[in-house]
Amino acid sequence: MNELVISDRVLAWFAHHGRRGLPWQVLRTAYRVWVSEIMLQQTQVQTVLRYFPPFVERFPNVTALARADLDEVLRLWSGLGYYARARNLHRTARILVNEYDGNLPLDHERLQCLPGIGRSTAGAILALASDQRHPILDGNVKRVLCRHQAIEGWPGHARVTKHLWQLADEYTPHQHSVAEYTQGIMDLGSMVCTRVRPRCGACPLRADCRAHAQARVNDFPEARPRRGLPLRRTTFVVVRRPDGCVLLERRPTVGVWGGLWSFPECSSEKDAKDWCLRRFGQRPAVSLRLPLKRHRFSHFHLEISPIVLDIAAPQRCVMEVDSVLWYKGGESKIGGLPAPVAGLLNGLLPNS
């Protein structure tokens, strides 16, 4: 089955069933395609639809994004997860303003040199924004190809990845409709060839899908080799003043929740009390021991023990330094918050 037959069937399916009218499709610019592709990394379309419109309304172009404070970028990204994506968007915007006159380079090699843009994302941006022929290999496309060819092995293995890139290149049309094919093959994986309960009866590639012929659709793609995720534990120290303000600290720009606002952390309740004594010169009263929270990251589980410590500190509710903030719900906007922190603030502070 040659690539023209494959691509023609994908294009015919897309013409009748593909997604159209998505915000980044209605007004298609390289900037908007880039933002959407970064948001769509490891995130479903329905989720991105809630975040994309307010993000591009506030940052309608590269220059607006580059001039913004990272805090504001992270605030609009809060809840979308994988915050390195937001930091990379911001970094890339500043590079584009300083080195490319505020324009995305429409060159595959140059795009891949920018933070957060790999081979597949660069290909998608160029295909969708300027109809350039570049294969893509996001999670949805990997699933379609693995099933169509019944490819054994986890797609993350180098041997399998190389094979998938070869197929992606073979199936991408050479002469026409690259943008439509690119969107179509992604939509096919997202809407029909889904991870669970795939709709094989609606698939334009069913006739020669090897996984379907072998009644092994659910065997592909193979899962990552299982390994137990380690469990880490921490204590969120929620320091509260008499006026209701709570202490937040900005996390380092690298690592978990990089650049976001969070509570100070200690290894235990005793360490938290000692930390308050050193920090504020007074031993706090433990007013609340909140239920344990479990948060899952891609590479570990985090078990959070939140405690609320009351101190008698008649300080004004202002930011003392760039990395410390006394915060009271509803008083002002704040930058990005990790989901567990936002949840605790909502429970502790009105109008957070």
Per-residue pLDDT at 321: 59
Q: Which helix (H) or strand (E) holds 316?
A: none
Which entry of 37, 57, 222, 331 is annotated as an active-site residue?
37
Amino acid at 310: D
Per-residue pLDDT at 40: 96
Per-residue pLDDT at 331: 55
Q: Which residues pair with 234 in a beta bridge?
A: 304
Per-residue pLDDT at 352: 55
Per-residue pLDDT at 325: 87
Per-residue pLDDT at 318: 41
Per-residue pLDDT at 317: 44
Per-residue pLDDT at 1: 46
Strands of 9-56, DSSP E: none
37 a catalytic residue: yes
CATH class of 231-348: alpha beta
Per-residue pLDDT at 316: 45
Domains of the chain, residue spans: 3-219, 231-348
Q: Which residues of the chain have pLDDT under 70?
A: 1-4, 313-322, 330-333, 350-352
| Coil, helix or strand at residue 308 | strand
Here the tokens at position 22 are 């998505």
For 105-155, what is each residue's pLDDT tens digit? 999 999 999 999 999 999 999 999 999 999 999 999 999 999 999 999 999
Question: Does the 3-219 domain belong in CATH 1.10.340.30?
Answer: yes
Per-residue pLDDT at 313: 63
Alpha carbons 134 and 120: distance in angstroms, whole number: 8
